[in-house]
Chain A
Amino acid sequence: MTEKTFMAGFGGQGIISLGQLWVYCAMKEGLEVTFFPFYGAEKRGGVARASVIVSTKEIASPLVTSPDSSIVMNMDSLPICEEVAKKGGLMLINSSLVKVDPKRGDLKVIKIPCNDIAEGIGDVKIANMVMMGALSKATGAVKLDKLEAVLKTFFPENKHKFIPMNMAAIEAGMKAV
């Protein structure tokens, strides 16, 4: 099994944490992983993108050029993801912010209102976690059963109180698929 995912959203939507947590959990589940964030000169704003691969075998190129799955967190990311998505690939769209459909007809599209679900749980900032739950359910590549332990090392101690909310977001994301 190899799942190559391309993730995109605007800076601040948590694309980097989403990718990092995805591969962190995958690693804890015994998979090989790479996470390559596109780095630029600007430190805020812009489209944040990451190449993320989890696999049962050694990973060749860390650069995802033909993703099995792509994550579209905002409008600006849609054309970028549509351009690279593998034929017949999976596309998870944050339908709270993306109100149009992809132009390509070959993609398996799943719409998740990540922002609305996150706000319902208590904070729009965890929209990325809703998306990660959806990605897990839709691909089956990473089960996320080690997430709670991972979050304990990922977050500093004073942020541990937010872990239940993050776990709830994952759960809701899984259910939304």
Chain B
Amino acid sequence: MAEEKRLMKGNEAIGEAAVRAGCMAYFGYPITPQNELTAYMAKHMLDKKRTFIQAESETAAINMVFGAASTGARAMTSSSSPGISLKQEGISYACGADLPMVIVNVARSGPGLGGISPGQADYFQSTRGGGHGDYFHLVLAPKSVQEAADLTYKAFALADKWRMPVMILADGLIGQMMEGVVLPPPVDPASLPAKPWAVGYQDASHRPNNHVTSINLVPAELEALVKARFKRYEEIKATEVRYEEVGCEDADLILVGYGTSSRVALGAIEMAKAEGIKLGLFRPITLWPFPAKRIGELAAKGKKFLTVEMSMGQMVEDVRLAAAGKGEVYFYGRCGGVIPTEDEVLAEAKRLLGK
């Protein structure tokens, strides 16, 4: 039976979902607007005799996750945009070493120190690898407190399944707002399958040595490793794409948005409906892999798209690539921590439709 609905902040719901997913180690560093998450983990991980460390930096935190994940334990770090930039070194190494871990970005507006208000300008960084080298990792974008909990919980399983970091890309609004949430059931960490590649407890099986590393100085060997990883990426693209679609089939214009922007777009769609204008919503839940195939199908039917973002236009590039010239793609965005309003989005949609 599902648990009773609780009222929680997004940041706290992410924390509780991680604890319930069997996260054994959390490492973080204070940064607004994700501070409640670090504080939540401090209390609840310590209460459960699990590992919590307030690291000396974001860089140290991600490398602590790297170490903990090397032993096969479920481990997580969280931060906000500037801190996520600092973690990119560790994320690149983790992708190179095929380490599962969960990284939460409660994004704010940039560049630089920028502001602490919600932002979606980390899309490129999150979906293009972010650090050096040829790699990708799963990126999940929640739209609500409920989904923030559900996707965080799911992220640990996906990370283990695909042996890669999974990023939760939220924003300050998702982190700070309170909504009702029904939490997933706790996982017993001892019940999770063993990871045969992890270090430690060699004495139990006398297995050959395990090495968690991203180094290989033989070009042909490294190429083969990277290619094998990219083959895995193709499997992920084939099986893990997630998106939500509302009334796209008979829409005159499809609004494309993720996370907070998708909520604003939905509001605009409801307002349009009252005026007899048919707008659809396409909401990518996995930002990598991007739901390109479905957008391509809709574009092939001659659909027009209006991408709504809290940035100067980042995801819109993926929408354009997916539409491949078959459907027109437009963009509306606000940046600097400004959240677009439903009225603004509706006005832009009407302008594009000549209404």
Alpha-carbon separation in the docked complex, A23 to B7 (Å):
8
Q: By the criterion CB–CB under 8 Å, are B176 and A65 in contact?
A: no
Q: By the criterion CB–CB under 8 Å, are B178 and A63 in contact?
A: no
Is B263 interfacial (CB-CB < 8 Å)? yes
Q: By the criterion CB–CB under 8 Å, are A65 and B341 in contact?
A: yes
Q: Which residue of A lies closest to B339 (CB)?
A: A63
Given contacts A60-B266, A61-B263, A63-B173, contact A20 B180 (CB under 8 A): no
Given contacts A61-B266, A63-B264, A63-B339, contact A39 B177 (CB under 8 A): no
A residues less than 8 Å from B176 (CB atoms):
36-37, 39
Q: By the criterion CB–CB under 8 Å, are B178 and A35 in contact?
A: yes
B residues less than 8 Å from A60 (CB atoms):
263-264, 266-267, 269-270, 342
Alpha-carbon separation in the docked complex, A38 to B267 (Å):
20
Alpha-carbon separation in the docked complex, A58 to B283 (Å):
15
Is B328 interfacial (CB-CB < 8 Å)? no
Question: For this complex, into which size category does the number of interface residues on chain A fall?
Answer: 20 to 34
Q: By the criterion CB–CB under 8 Å, are B339 and A33 in contact?
A: no
Q: By the criterion CB–CB under 8 Å, are A62 and B263 in contact?
A: yes
B residues less than 8 Å from A100 (CB atoms):
none
Candidates B32, B177, B267; contact of A35 at CB < 8 Å:
B177
Query: Digit string of A134-173 for contact with B (CB within 8 Å is 1, else 0)?
Result: 0000000000000000000000000000000000000000
Is B56 interfacial (CB-CB < 8 Å)? no
Q: By the criterion CB–CB under 8 Å, are A33 and B172 in contact?
A: no
CB distance from B81 to the nearest CB of A (A): 15
Query: Digit string of A49-79 for contact with B (CB within 8 Å is 1, else 0)?
Result: 0000000001111110110000000000000
Candidates B7, B263, B343; contact of A66 at CB < 8 Å:
B343
Candidates A35, A39, A40, A65; contact of B342 at CB < 8 Å:
A65
Is A41 interfacial (CB-CB < 8 Å)? yes
CB distance from A129 to the nearest CB of B (A): 18
Query: Digit string of B166-184 for contact with A (CB within 8 Å is 1, else 0)?
Result: 0000001100111110000
CB distance from B306 to the nearest CB of A (A): 16
Is B110 interfacial (CB-CB < 8 Å)? no
Query: Digit string of B247-273 for contact with A (CB within 8 Å is 1, else 0)?
Result: 000000000000010011011011000
Candidates A34, A40, A66; contact of B177 at CB < 8 Å:
A34
Given contacts A27-B5, A60-B270, A63-B341, contact A41 B173 (CB under 8 A): no
Query: Digit string of B337-348 for contact with A (CB within 8 Å is 1, else 0)?
Result: 001011100000
Candidates A32, A36, A41; contact of B180 at CB < 8 Å:
A32
A residues less than 8 Å from B260 (CB atoms):
61-62
Is A24 interfacial (CB-CB < 8 Å)? yes
CB distance from A45 to the nearest CB of B (A): 17
Alpha-carbon separation in the docked complex, A27 to B180 (Å):
7
Alpha-carbon separation in the docked complex, A35 to B36 (Å):
16
Chain B 289-335 residues near chain A, CB threshold 8 A = none
Is B140 interfacial (CB-CB < 8 Å)? no
Q: By the criterion CB–CB under 8 Å, are A39 and B178 in contact?
A: no
Alpha-carbon separation in the docked complex, A35 to B33 (Å):
16
Q: By the criterion CB–CB under 8 Å, are A33 and B179 in contact?
A: yes
- Report the 9 A-B pairs with minimum CB-CB distance, sorted nearest first: A60-B267, A36-B177, A60-B266, A35-B178, A61-B267, A61-B264, A65-B341, A27-B180, A61-B263
Residues of A participating in the B interface, judged by any CB pair closer than 8 Å: 20, 23-24, 27, 32-37, 39-41, 58-63, 65-66
Given A20-B178, A39-B33, A39-B172, 18 other A-B residues pairs in contact with their CB atoms under 8 A: A20-B7, A23-B178, A33-B179, A33-B180, A34-B177, A34-B178, A35-B178, A39-B116, A39-B176, A61-B264, A61-B266, A61-B267, A61-B339, A62-B173, A62-B179, A62-B263, A65-B343, A66-B343
Some 29 contacts from A to B, beta carbons below 8 A apart, are A20-B7, A20-B178, A23-B7, A27-B5, A32-B180, A33-B180, A34-B177, A35-B7, A36-B176, A36-B177, A39-B32, A39-B33, A39-B172, A39-B176, A58-B266, A59-B263, A60-B264, A60-B267, A60-B342, A61-B260, A61-B266, A61-B267, A61-B339, A61-B342, A63-B264, A63-B339, A65-B341, A65-B342, A65-B343
